Amino acid sequence: MKKILVTHNDMDGCACAVVFKTAFPDSVIFYEDYKTVNQKVMDLLVSEPELLYLADISVNKEVARELDKANSAGMKVRLFDHHATALWMQKYPWCVIDTSLCGACIMFKELEWDNNANLLFEFLNFELSRLVHIVNTYDMWLWTQNPESPESKMAVALNDLLSATSREYWVNKFMHNPVPQLTDYEKTVVDAVQVKRMEYIRKTNVDIFEGPVKFGVCYAEQYTSELGYYKNQEMDIDFLVIVNVRDRKLSFRSKEFNVAQLAKLAGGGGHPQSAGCSLPEGKVEDFIKSLLQKL
C-alpha cells in the first residue's frame, strides 16, 4: 500500500475518496470514524506508505506526534480537516485546517497544485469541482439557508443516495462520472427516501428540558442532520440532542448555540452547530446538564 487515504465515513469522506482516487488511481481508501481512526493510522504507519493522507477527520495528540515523526523521516503526510476541534493541529506544517470548507473541498484545492496527481484529475477538474461544491453545500449546512434552491436540493439528494445505497455505489458512480446528477432510477430511490425521512422526522418525539439553556432530547438512528434542522426550526430550544442507541453516540444540533464545546467536554468533536460524542452511561439529560455546568 503505497498511497493511502484515511477519511470519514460520511458523504464528505466519500467525496474525498473520489477526489483522491481520481488523482491517485492505485491508492487505497480507509473509511473511519472517531472511535477507530487513531488505531487505524497507527497500524498504517507501521506499513510505511510513501504517501498518507487524512481528510475530513483528525487524530489525537499522540498519533499527531507519530505522524509528524513519519513526515520528518520522509513519508509524505497530509491532513485536511474542517472541524473546529482540529484547530490545534495547525501547528503542524503538513496540516490544513479550514473551518469554512468541507474536507473534500480543502483536499481538492491542495491536489490542484500537486504535480504527482494523475492527468485524469486535471482533465476532470471542472466536474470534480462541481461535485465537491455540492457536497460542501450539504456538509457545511449551507443547504439550510435556502432549502428549496436547486443546489440545496441536489446536495440533500446526493446524501440521500448514499443513505439508500452504499459507499461503494456512491464512490464508483462519481468515479465513473463526477457530474453531480442522478439517473431516473436514482431519482425514484431518492424520492422514496425523502418521503420516508419526513415521516420519520414527524413521528420522532422530543423531550424538552428547561433551564438557563433549553435543550431537547430525542431517540433516532437515521436522518440526523435533517432531523436536527427541522426540529430546531419547529421548537423553541437552544439545541437538540439526538441519541443513537444502536451506534452508542450522541449528536448535537443547533441554530446558534455552540454545541462543539459540549462535544469536546465529552471527548467528542465537531462544528459549532453540528457535533457529537459517545453515548454515556446513565440518563442523557443528566449528562447534558453536567456538561452545561462546566461551560
Quickly state the pLDDT bin for 113 (edges 50, 70, 90).
Answer: confident
The residues facing 276 across adjacent strands are 251, 269
Is-same-fold flag (3-140; 204-294)?
no
What CATH number should be reported for the domain whose range is 204-294?
A: 3.10.310.30
pLDDT digits (tens, 9 = 90+) for 171-208: 999 999 999 999 999 999 999 999 999 999 999 999 99
Distances (CA, A) of 65 to 92, 137, 272: 9, 33, 26
Domain range list for the chain: 3-140, 204-294
pLDDT in tens, 217-241: 999 999 998 999 999 999 999 999 9
Beta carbons within 8 Å of 14's beta carbon, 6+ residues apart: 7, 31, 162, 167, 170, 171
The answer as to CATH 3.30.420.40 being correct for domain 3-140 is no
The 10s digit of each residue's pLDDT in 155-167 is 999 999 999 999 9
Burial of 246 (0-12, 13-18, 19+ CB in 10 A): exposed
